[in-house]
Amino acid sequence: MNFKGLKKTKDKKGAKGTRNPKEPVAIFEPQHLWSALKTSPVTKAPKLLFKYAIRWICREPKVPGEAAHPEWPGYTGTGTKLNFKLNTRAYKSQELVENTVFSFFPMSSDRNLTPTQISTRTKIISLYRKAKNKKKPFRTRDINRFLCLLDQFFFFGAMVNNGRPRVYCKLWQKQSGLIKLCAPSLVKRDKMPWGYTRHRHIKNYGPFEMIHMPAKDFFDYPEKISVSFLLETLVHEMVHAYVNLFLCQCRACHKDMINTKGITGHGKTFIMILDCIDYTLRTWDVGLSGLMRQVVILGGEHHIFDEVKMLHQHEMELYRKLAIPVPEDWHDHAPPTLNPTAPTEETLDHKRTEVTEDKEIKGPRARWVEVNAARALDDNDPEMNVYMTAPQVGGTMVKLGKLNQTGDIVQALVTDAAAKSIKNKIKRKFENWPKLDRYFEIYAGLHMNIH
Ligand SMILES: [Zn+2]
Ligand SMILES: [Zn+2]
Mean pLDDT by runs of 10 across the 451 residues of the chain is 40 40 54 79 83 83 85 87 92 95 95 96 97 90 96 96 92 88 82 88 92 90 90 96 95 88 90 95 94 78 81 84 52 37 28 32 45 75 85 82 94 88 67 65 56 46
Q: Which residues of 371-383 are buried (b: 16+ CB within 10 A; e: fewer)?
A: bbbbeebeeeeee
**What are the backbone angles phi and psi of residue 389, rounded to the nearest 5°?**
-95, 175
Exposed e or buried b per residue across 274-306, where buried means at least 16 C-beta atoms within 10 angstroms of its C-beta: bbbbbbbbbeeeeebbbbeeeeeeeeeeeeeeb
> Which numbered ligand comes closest to the C-alpha of 257?
1
Q: Is residue 184 helix, strand or coil?
A: helix
Distance 70 CA to ligand 1 centre (A): 10
For residue 255, the CA-to-ligand 1 centroid distance in Å is 9
Size (the chain), residues: 451
Q: For residue 2, what pLDDT is reported?
A: 40
Listing DSSP states for 274-305 in one string gives HHHHHHHHHHT-SS--SS-EEEEEETTEEEEE
Q: What sign has the CA pseudo-torsion 385, 390, 395, 400?
A: negative
Closest ligand to residue 211's CA: 2
Q: How many Å lie between the centroid of ligand 2 and the Cα of residue 211?
A: 11
- Nearest ligand (C-alpha, residue 213): 2
pLDDT tens digits, 258-310: 889 988 899 999 999 999 999 999 999 999 999 888 777 777 777 778 888 88
Helices 115-133 & 140-154, crossing angle to 10 degrees?
150
Q: How far apart are the CA of 401 and the centre of ligand 1, in A?
A: 28
Strand partners, 297: 302
- Ligand at minimal distance from the CA of 260 is 1
Domain ranges for the chain, please list them: 1-59+292-398, 60-290, 401-451
- State the distance from the centre of ligand 1 to the C-alpha of 247, rounded, in angstroms: 8
Q: How much is the pLDDT for 17? A: 39
pLDDT digits (tens, 9 = 90+) for 147-190: 999 999 999 999 999 889 999 999 999 888 888 888 888 887 67
Give distance in angstroms: CA of 315 to centre of ligand 1.
Answer: 21
Report the separation in Å between the CA atom of 73 and the middle of ligand 1, taken as the mean of its atom positions. Answer: 17
Ligand nearest to the CA of 89: 1
C-alpha of residue 274 to centroid of ligand 2, in Å: 10
The pLDDT score that the predictor gives to residue 430 is: 62
Which ligand lies nearest to the CA atom of residue 95 in the structure?
1
Phi-psi region of 110 (alpha: psi -120 to 50; beta: other; left: phi over 0): left
Ligand 2 midpoint to CA 89 (Å): 19
How far, in Å, from the CA of 295 to the mean position of ligand 2?
21
Q: What are the residues whose beta carbons fall under 8 Å from the beta carbon of 331, sequence distance 6 or more?
A: none
Ion ligand 1 residue ranges (Cβ < 5 Å): 67, 248, 250, 253
